[in-house]
Amino acid sequence: MNHSMNEKFMASLQQATLLTRGGQLQEATALIQRALHGVPMPETTDSASAKGEVFEGSFSVVEEPSGRSPNPSARHKAARPDPPQATTSRKSFATTPNISGLDELLRSKLSGLNTTVDAPAPVLPEGATFSSGTFANQSGSRDYKLYVPSDYHGQSLPLIVMLHGCTQNPDDFAAGTGMNQLAEEQPCLVLYPAQHTSANHSRCWNWFKSSDQRREEGEPAIIAGMTRQIIKEYHVDERRVYVAGLSAGGAMASTMAMTYPEIYAAVGVHSGLAHGSAQDLPSALAAMQGGTGPMAGLNQQMKTRAITPTTSHVPAIIFHGDQDATVHPSNSDRVAAQHLAAEPTSTSKLDTQQHSGKVANGRSYSCTVYHDASGQPILEQWSIHGAAHAWAGGSSLGSYTDPLGPDASREMLRFFLSHPKGEGV
C-alpha cells in the first residue's frame, strides 16, 4: 500500500469511526467495504448522515440459536461439542443495533488464507483425555476443552492456555498446532477456551473492544477465571502457567499477559497484535493493515497500560510471517516493543542476539533474542520468510497452518518451560 493509498484508507477508517459512534453502522460498513476494495469515498459537500443517504453496500445480521444455558457444574464432558448453527435475517440495524455488518468485514479480512478445517476426532494415547467443559463467572461464560496427558497421575504439571483464531474452535486449533502431542512428550495440561458466536459472529476473541481489554472485565476476566479454575481443580504448578494464541487469539494472549501477569509466566503471540492497539472495528482494521494514523496516539496509552501497579514484565515469544496480508508484519514489532516497554531494564542495556536458519525443505527464518542484564532471554521475535497468516510448522489437519515453517508450538513450549515464575512474582 503506497503512501497516497494509505492516507485515503486511513481517512476512510476515520470517517467510518465517526459513523459508528453516531450509530450509522450500515453506512460505516459500506465505507469500509469501499476502502478495502480501493474505492474512494464519495465526493459530497454535506455529510451523508445529514442527508440521510446510504452508501452502496449490503449487510446481513446473523442470529444465534438459543443454546443451552451455561452450567458451571456441567464440566469435562467427553462428547465433542456440536458446531454452532446460524440463520440469516433481514432485520435492519435500526431495529437490531449491533455491529454484525462490520464484524463480517473483519471476518473476511481474517479468512484470507484457507477455510476452516473440520478437525477429525483425535486418537488419544491410552490414559489421556480431551474433555469438554463450561466455565462461568460474573463476566459471562465460555466453553472449553482440556487436554490431560496420559502421564498425569495427580502430580504438579505446567498449564498452557491456547487461544484460537477467528473461525476456529478448540478441536481445530489443537489439531493444527499439535500442542496436545507435545504435551505427551513434555507432560503438561493444555486448556483451549472457546469463543462462541453469541459473543462474536466469527468466533474472534474481542481484542479490539475496550470492554474486553481491562482486568476483571469482559473476556479477560472469563479466561483468567477459567485458568484459575483449572489450576485449582488440577495439581497445576502455578509457577508454570502460560498463554498463547493465533491472530485474534494472539492479540488476546497479549492482553492476558498485560492484565494478569501474576497468573501467566510467559506468553506466545503468533500473527497477533499488541494489547490495546484498537478500541473498535475501524481501528482494528487500521491496526491490521499496519497503519500508523490511528495507532500513533496509542503509543503512550499502550505504555501506560503495560506498566501499572498491577502488572509486571511477562517474557514473550513472537512469531509472524513476513508476507502476512491479514495482520501486517509490523504488528510483530509493536508486540515486541510493548513487552520491552514493560521490562524494568532499559532497552538500551538489553543484549540483543540475532540468528537465522532454514527448515529442511521448508522456510527460512530470522530470530532476534533479547537478554536482560543477568543474561536471561526475555523476548524472542521470529520472522518467517515467505509465510502468510498461519501457524508456523502446524499440521494440515487444522486451519491457518503452514507446515513449511519452523515448529512454533515446539519453540513456544521450549521458551515457556525455561521461564517459570521467579520467587515473589
How many C-beta atoms lie closer than 10 Å to residue 288's C-beta?
A: 25
For the record, the C-alpha cell of 223 comes out as 479466561
Residue 244 · residue 230 · CB < 8 Å:
no
Residue 140 · residue 222 · CB < 8 Å:
yes
State how far the Cα of 9 lies from the Cα of 15, in Å rounded to an integer. Answer: 10
Nearest partner of 324 among 274, 281, 367, 386, judged by Cα: 386
Query: Residue 304 has what pLDDT?
Result: 39
Amino acid letter for position 37: H
Long-range contacts made by residues 366-373, C-beta under 8 angstroms, separation at least 24?
370/340, 372/343, 372/345, 373/345, 373/349
Residue 394 · residue 173 · CB < 8 Å:
no
> What is the model's pTM?
0.76
All structural domains of the chain, each given as residue ranges with its CATH number in brackets, are: 130-417 (3.40.50.1820)
Name the strand (E) or helix (H) holding 32. Answer: helix 25-36
Nearest partner of 163 among 70, 72, 256, judged by Cα: 256
**Tens of each residue's pLDDT in the chain, 425 residues:** 445 545 665 566 666 666 655 555 556 655 665 665 555 555 443 333 333 322 222 222 222 333 333 333 334 433 333 333 333 232 322 333 344 455 555 555 554 444 455 666 778 999 999 999 999 999 999 999 999 999 999 999 999 999 999 999 999 999 999 999 999 999 999 999 999 999 999 999 999 999 999 999 999 999 999 999 999 999 899 999 999 999 999 999 999 999 999 999 999 999 999 999 999 888 999 999 986 543 333 443 444 343 343 446 899 999 999 999 999 999 999 999 999 987 765 555 789 999 999 999 999 999 999 998 888 999 999 999 999 999 999 999 999 999 999 999 999 999 999 999 975 44
State how far the Cα of 224 lies from the Cα of 193, in Å rounded to an integer. Answer: 10
Amino acid letter for position 221: A
Q: In the beta sheet, which residues pair with residue 130?
A: 147
For the record, the C-alpha cell of 422 comes out as 521467579
CA quadruple 235, 195, 418, 233: dihedral, nearest 10: 0
